Amino acid sequence: MSASIARRPRSLRLKDGRVIHFPAVMGILNLTPDSFSDGGRFLDPERAVDHALAMEAAGATIIDIGGESSRPGAATVGVEIEMERVLPVIETLCAKLKAPISIDTRKAVVASAALDEGAAIVNDVSGLMFDPIMAQSVAQAGAALILMHMRGSPATMNRYARYRNVVAEVCAFLERQARAALAAGVLRTRIIVDPGLGFAKKARHNLELMGGLSEICALGYPVLVGASRKRFVHAIAGGSESDLLFGTAAANALAVAAGASIVRVHDPGPAAAVVRMAIAIAESGRG
């Protein structure tokens, strides 16, 4: 077994006692009109709830809900609109899902409202860079926190895709932001880090980060990888449904083999099969 897999945390215990076992599959529920892959499909709350339940049945053990697209060039959405999109769905789902809900937002006020409705994890794609009170809001609620690397905002990030050593620079950012979260009172055992594939990254940066995942895992936090259907997968594997599915599957298998703890996906059924297979091989003692 490789050192990074041996280092993968076994699980994460949430404040309410629920335990997420790693490697885990996070299913994506975008309640947006403009997300790059599934924009507009789940704006109707009933469809959104049905889709979340179907993702859980297919193998997702976390459901990530977002009301603001972070695709390259996406504009910021007002707090009111973001809350209107996500809160009713979170409220309904909390009564129906076993899987914990993460709220994908950069805004502390949205995060706090979602946590009040029963979400347990905050997925901050700005890695605490957008809202100065995000860390303390998460700490106060005793929630788990996903810290993702990006530069600039979704509207501006592409112009910052310049690195000398992308793996080292992303690791330094994640380590620094994790320290900031700890200083604000977020529990060490509830911090997850994420290299932010596609966020201020060119295709080659994403590939280098995938290749350097064991270094990111060596930071000692569970690592989340979000490759699902992203532009670099499209560019390399191809753009048909099956190209994107298999391209994503390859990325997820290698991520899990390198020690990643969570894969964030649009298709949890195939991803769960990939994770089962990758883990069986990687942990066989020869992988």
Q: Which is nearer to ligand HH2, 23 or 66 (CB)?
A: 66
Using CB under 6 A as the binding rule, whether residue 244 contacts ligand HH2 is answered as no
Q: Which residue has the tokens 């009170």?
A: 133
Minimum distance, C-beta of residue 28 to ligand HH2, in the bound complex (Å): 5
In whole angstroms, give the CA distance from residue 263 to residue 47: 23
In whole angstroms, give the CA distance from residue 183 to residue 253: 34
3-state secondary structure 149-201: CCCCCCCCHHHHCCCCCHHHHHHHHHHHHHHHHHHHCCCHHHEEEECCCCCCC
Using CB under 6 A as the binding rule, whether residue 126 contacts ligand HH2 is answered as no
Q: Which of 22, 36, 163, 173 binds ligand HH2 (CB under 6 A)?
A: 36
Residue 144 and residue 122 in contact, taking contact as beta carbons nearer than 8 Å: yes
Using CB under 6 A as the binding rule, whether residue 82 contacts ligand HH2 is answered as no
The three-point CA angle 206-208-209 to 5° equals 65
Q: Which has the closest alpha carbon to 254: 234, 223, 231, 282?
A: 282
Using CB under 6 A as the binding rule, whether residue 30 contacts ligand HH2 is answered as yes
The half-sphere exposure of 168 on its side-chain side, counting CA atoms within 13 A, is: 3
**Which residue is catalytic, options 8, 107, 151, 230?**
230
Minimum distance, C-beta of residue 104 to ligand HH2, in the bound complex (Å): 5
Using CB under 6 A as the binding rule, whether residue 56 contacts ligand HH2 is answered as no
Using CB under 6 A as the binding rule, whether residue 206 contacts ligand HH2 is answered as no
Residue 96 appears among annotated catalytic residues: no
Q: Which is nearer to ligand HH2, 225 or 279 (CB)?
A: 225
Element (H, E) at 98: none
Q: At what angle do helices 241-258 and 268-282 cross, to 10 degrees?
A: 40
Q: Which is nearer to ligand HH2, 113 or 174 (CB)?
A: 174
In whole angstroms, give the CA distance from residue 11 to residue 154: 31
Q: Which is nearer to ligand HH2, 41 or 71 (CB)?
A: 71
Q: Which has the closest alpha carbon to 73: 217, 198, 194?
A: 198
Using CB under 6 A as the binding rule, whether residue 41 contacts ligand HH2 is answered as no
Which tokens hold the place of 151?
Answer: 């530069």
Minimum distance, C-beta of residue 31 to ligand HH2, in the bound complex (Å): 9
Element (H, E) at 232: helix 231-237
**Which residue is catalytic, options 85, 106, 190, 264?**
264
Using CB under 6 A as the binding rule, whether residue 252 contacts ligand HH2 is answered as no
Q: Binding pattern to ligand HH2, positions 94-113, x when CB under 6 A?
A: ----------x---------
Stretch that binds ligand HH2, among 11-19, 26-34, 114-122, 251-259 (CB under 6 A): 26-34
Virtual CA dihedral for 176, 181, 183, 186, nearest 10 degrees?
Answer: -150
Using CB under 6 A as the binding rule, whether residue 127 contacts ligand HH2 is answered as no
Q: Which is nearer to ligand HH2, 70 or 285 (CB)?
A: 70
The three-point CA angle 250-256-262 to 5° equals 110
Q: Report the site for ligand HH2 in 58-77 (rule: CB under 6 A).
A: 66, 69-71
Residue 201 appears among annotated catalytic residues: no
Contacting residues toward ligand HH2, per CB under 6 A: 28, 30, 32, 35-37, 66, 69-71, 104, 123, 125, 146, 148, 194, 196-197, 224, 226, 264
Q: Which residues are catalytic?
A: 230, 264
